[in-house]
Amino acid sequence: MTVASHAPLPMLHLITKRLTQSPCSQEAKKFVKPDGRLLTNRENRDFFATYNLEPDNGAARRLTTGPALQNASKAYNATIAFSPRHLIHPHDLRFFDPRGHPLAAARRDKYRRKTLEEPLWIMLTGAGASSVVRTLTQRRLKCAIYRSLEDLGFRNGVGNGKEIRGTLWITIHDPVKASKLSPWPFGEAVAKALASRCAQPLR
């Protein structure tokens, strides 16, 4: 039996808080309501529940631990937030169309493997610069965070009998400004905040 021969699953409202930090794609806007409700089907809803996935990136809460992180946030013009759940990237919401999507199964498999293999997800977004500047800046900052975490004994978010499980969501509001700064002070400040505030006993 082909996928096309299956009857469509019923459309369900998945309540989310808001989409504030990063907008979803134009395709996804068709089924993400202004109040943050994601319209999806039962298969996707059950998948989110099984793997504790959150489709609303606005569910992440601001991380403002200590003066070092606050100074880094100000210097790099960044909003830093963390959620103990794994967040679906806004650009991927289109794959969870309530009518079905030809790549939905592949995307679910990607997120399933990612949740099992990577306790800590780090996502960076930015605006106001060329895509090259945004991409390179985000890559450098993400690398600095991971390397700084390793220096603290957390490889891929796991170490010292603890794990940092969830999603770190960072919005760089001025990628050009951030690109001119060394990524290491930022990475060190963020890593220390994660280790002190977000690490939990290893499950």
Instruction: Check: CB of residue 38 under 8 Å from CB of residue 47.
Output: no
Q: Strand pairing of 61-62 and 53-54?
A: unpaired
CA distance 182 to 14: 41
CA distance 145 to 154: 11
Res. 6 pLDDT band, cuts 50 70 90: very low
Residues 136-150 pLDDT 10s = 999 999 999 999 999
DSSP line for 61-94: EE---HHHHHHHHHHTTEEEEEESSEEPPGGGGG
Asked whether the CA dihedral 25, 29, 31, 36 is positive or negative, the reply is: positive
169: β partners? 81, 123
55 φ, ψ (degrees, to nearest 5): -80, -10
Instruction: Check: CB of residue 12 under 8 Å from CB of residue 40.
Output: yes
Report the pLDDT value the prediction gives residue 98, as an integer from 0 to 100.
86
Report the pLDDT value the prediction gives residue 18, as an integer from 0 to 100.
39
Q: What is the mean pLDDT of the chain?
A: 85
Residues 93-122 pLDDT 10s = 889 888 888 999 999 999 999 999 999 999
Residues 23-50 pLDDT 10s = 555 565 666 766 666 778 899 999 999 9
Residues 163-176 pLDDT 10s = 999 999 999 999 99
> pTM of the entire structure?
0.82
Listed residue (30, 51, 20, 48) closest to 97, CA to CA: 30
Alpha helices in 118-182 (DSSP H): 131-151, 175-179
Q: Is the pLDDT of residue 52 over 90?
A: yes
Res. 19 pLDDT band, cuts 50 70 90: very low
